[in-house]
Chain A
Amino acid sequence: MSAITTATQADIQPSIDDLKAMAQVIRRHIITMIHAAQAGHPGGSLSAADIVTALYFRVMRLDPANPSWPDRDRFILSKGHACPVWYAALAERGFFDRSHLTTLRQLNSILQGHADMRKTPGVDMTVGSLGQGICAGLGMALAGKLHGKDYHVYVMIGDGEAQEGAVWEAAMAAPRWRLDNLTVIVDNNGIQNDAFTAEIMPVEPLADKWRAFRWNVIEIDGHRMEEIVPALESVKAIKGVPTVIIAKTIKGRGVSFMENVPAWHGAAPNDAQAQAALAEIAEGLR
């Protein structure tokens, strides 16, 4: 694990086991941050932790010392309320000091309640109002084609977010411009703010919908690093169409009492709950 914790060692290709370990470090930060802030969204941060770890520690071409490097791969967390997972990955990857993490949502913090590209090094797009990050990612992909750059744009959306009409405006547009430099990952954890997505406004069958929009569709278990990494690494070889990775995930993954419980979409753990959660995550580390 130590081999992938600093920017200077980024060239070392981390193993699947390294990535699994890092995902638990990220989960530890998520709990610590949201507990410190006493506000935030742990469920959707934890469900995204494995995929975000794979992106930042193995898949994406980045230079933490130069966050605005024009040739970098881009990541946009369109489901911006899950930004603790993003901040944790950026800090561990060396974009800023880990000491910032517990300032989440506090006055004068670089870590806003929803991510702000002007405040946080490494955040490629300001997000928070759902259904916009995917469209911004489409714009970045168009620009990449126009400039003849070979960077790739990764956008993560939520399954609840797929209720936003603008998601489908982007879904319609990306194949029209043959944006094979754009990959959307659906963190399909099945829960939105109010309750289970299937109860509020069903979005399934997601794979059929994206196929009908002419996307290359890959379906994976979003917690099995053995599936996440090959899926993410396969997309750059796909030519002429954008790819969507529909990742089946569990909201609150890694903390048993948060798993698949809608109440943990946007609630902070108290002291005892945080302690229990951190103990479970430490268990996962071993």
Chain B
Amino acid sequence: MSDHPGCYHFVLPEIVANLPGDQPFARAHMQATRYAYADAILELGERNPHVVVLDADVSKSMRTNDFAKRFPDRSFNFGIAEQNMMAAAAGMATTGLIPFASTYAVFASMRALDQVRNSIHYPKLNVKIAASHSGITPGPDGVTHQAQEDLSLLRAIANSTVIAPADPVSTKLAVFAAAAYDGPVYLSFTRDPVPTIYQPDFPLEIGRAVVIREGWDATIIALRDLVAHALVAAAQLAAEGLDVRVIDCHTLKPLDIACILAAARETGAIVTAENNVIFGGLGSAVAEVLVENHPIPMERIGVRDTFAESGPYLALLDKYGMSVRHIAAAVRRVVARKHAA
């Protein structure tokens, strides 16, 4: 695999060909990762009889009702009762079942957090929490349905594994990897469509970040929906003469420390990009690694100390400082700091 600047790994050629461009994903296949989850769980259901799906009255929205139709005996809709669903999932897991408890991220990570902590993570039971509408992706629904804290909250819990895949291809691989792992996994999906950016051979391994664009001037470490935006920012910066590495850090926990430290040593400047509050999520996790091992100029892109509001997804990303231009500007600043040092 080549490591010369500007070389992409696992990114679809048609995506690379359109970068940066005015509308870089105009030709991309768009799909909300919640639907990629629904596709994946259907496949899993076919080949693993232990997989059961638990819903809390959003099975139409998450399309887990496809699973319910195909496997009615292995589908349980708890109604609007997320606390019961999470603790019941724990009870089911004690018998060898692999429950996928599916709901929106606000409810999975906050309404039922006590159950998620005490009944699932403390006994390290084999429950998968499938959380859609993560970050501020459920734009029009407004603040009550925007889970801008879920990654931070789940990361703080012992025994947790937190995965936030970037596109439909990596989402399906993440669901399969979660099913193969024995223990709790929190899977974070988008409400809104995101571009399919990866080839089918994307090497999704829990805890292993993936360099998807080579570069030696700075690094953008992103997860979930901001990975695509990071790719566009890197392509824009390349036109300015900056070669920026892009890392898909799909697994927030356990963090791929080796990959982050290599980027720190080799590029000397890092920007993190997450559609999540800047407290306790990816930016905090990377900052902790850098401060303790290899301090370098760094900036965090994410939701600042504020709630968002209703609005279209992409417009919200822009208003709340997480769009391509914000990521690119942050890279320019950390590079300037690096050179000033």
Point out residues on A near B: beta carbons under 8 Å. Answer: 70, 116-118, 124-126, 128-129, 131-133, 135-144, 146-147, 165-166, 169-170, 172-173, 177
Interface residue from B81, B93, B115, B124 paired with A132 (Cβ < 8 Å): B115
Name the residue of chain A whose CB is nearest to the CB of B78: A173
> Are B118 and A126 in contact, with the CB atoms below 8 A?
yes
> Are A125 and B76 in contact, with the CB atoms below 8 A?
no
> Are A131 and B83 in contact, with the CB atoms below 8 A?
yes
Assuming A118-B123, A132-B114, is B95 touching A166 (CB within 8 A)? no
Q: How far is the CA of A253 from the CA of B195 in the complex (A)?
A: 65
Give the contacts of B107-137 with A (CB-CB under 8 A): 114-115, 118-119, 122-124
Q: How far is the CA of A4 from the CA of B52 in the complex (A)?
A: 40
Contacts of A118 in B (CB 8 A): 123-124
Binds A, one of B84-92, B166-174, B289-297, B304-312: B84-92
> Are B78 and A136 in contact, with the CB atoms below 8 A?
no
Point out residues on B near A: beta carbons under 8 Å. Answer: 52, 73-74, 76, 78-79, 81, 83-84, 86-97, 99, 114-115, 118-119, 122-124
Contacts of A142 in B (CB 8 A): 76, 88, 91-92
* Interface pairs A-B: 5 shortest CB-CB: A139-B91, A135-B87, A139-B88, A136-B91, A169-B84
Interface residue from B87, B97, B124 paired with A143 (Cβ < 8 Å): B97
Q: How far is the CA of A147 from the CA of B50 in the complex (A)?
A: 10
Q: Can you list 6 contacts pairing A with B, beta carbon distance less than 8 Å?
A: A132-B115, A132-B119, A136-B88, A143-B95, A147-B95, A166-B87
> Are B81 and A172 in contact, with the CB atoms below 8 A?
yes
Interface residue from A117, A128, A132, A165 paired with B87 (Cβ < 8 Å): A132
> Are A166 and B115 in contact, with the CB atoms below 8 A?
yes
> Are A136 and B52 in contact, with the CB atoms below 8 A?
no
Kindly name the residue among B92, B99, B114 whose own CB sees the greatest number of chain A CB atoms within 10 A.
B92
Minimum distance in angstroms from A165 CB to a CB of chain B: 7
> Are A140 and B118 in contact, with the CB atoms below 8 A?
no
Minimum distance in angstroms from B126 CB to a CB of chain A: 12
> Are A166 and B83 in contact, with the CB atoms below 8 A?
yes
Name the residue of chain A whose CB is nearest to the CB of B124: A118
Contacts of A135 in B (CB 8 A): 83-84, 86-88, 91, 115, 119
Name the residue of chain B whose CB is nearest to the CB of A167: B84
> Are B95 and A136 in contact, with the CB atoms below 8 A?
no
> Are B91 and A169 in contact, with the CB atoms below 8 A?
no
Assuming A169-B83, A173-B81, is B92 touching A143 (CB within 8 A)? yes
Minimum distance in angstroms from A4 CB to a CB of chain B: 27
Interface residue from B84, B91, B122 paired with A140 (Cβ < 8 Å): B91
> Are B91 and A125 in contact, with the CB atoms below 8 A?
yes
> Are B97 and A146 in contact, with the CB atoms below 8 A?
yes
